[in-house]
Amino acid sequence: MASVRNLKKDIDLIMSLTLSDCFYVMEYNSKVDQDAIYQIAGEVVTKHRDLRLRAMHPDGKDNPKMVKQYYKGLVNDMLMAADSALEKLSKEVKKAAK
C-alpha cells in the first residue's frame, strides 16, 4: 500500500462503482424490486462511510507490522463488501428475470 490517501481513493472508487451498478439496474430493468435495490445501495453507502473512517484511524500506530495488517484487513473488508453487494444485486436481477 502506497498511502492512506490512495487507499481512500480506492475505497471511493470501488464503492461508487458498486453503487452505480445498483442504480443502473434500477434504471434499465423495470421488473426488479426497487425497495430491495435501495436497501442494497444503503448498505453500500453505510459500508463506504465505515471503511473511510477506519482508513483514517488505524490501530497500533506505534507498530508498523500491526498497521500493515490493519490495512490489509481493511482492503479485504472493502472487497468483500463490494462482492457481497454485487451478489445481492445479481440475485435480485435473477428474481426479476423469472
* Predicted pLDDT of residue 58: 86
The b/e string for 79-92 (b: 16+ C-beta within 10 A; e otherwise) is: eebbeebbebbeeb
Average pLDDT over residues 21-39: 94
Average pLDDT over residues 48-59: 93
CB 29 within 8 A of CB 96: yes
* Predicted pLDDT of residue 1: 53
pTM as predicted: 0.90
C-alpha distance from residue 30 to each of 21, 74, 93 (Å): 14, 35, 10
Q: Sort 22 into a burial class: Cβ within 10 Å, 0-12 / 13-18 / 19+.
A: buried
Average pLDDT over residues 34-44: 96
* Predicted pLDDT of residue 2: 65
Structural domain spans, the chain: 4-97
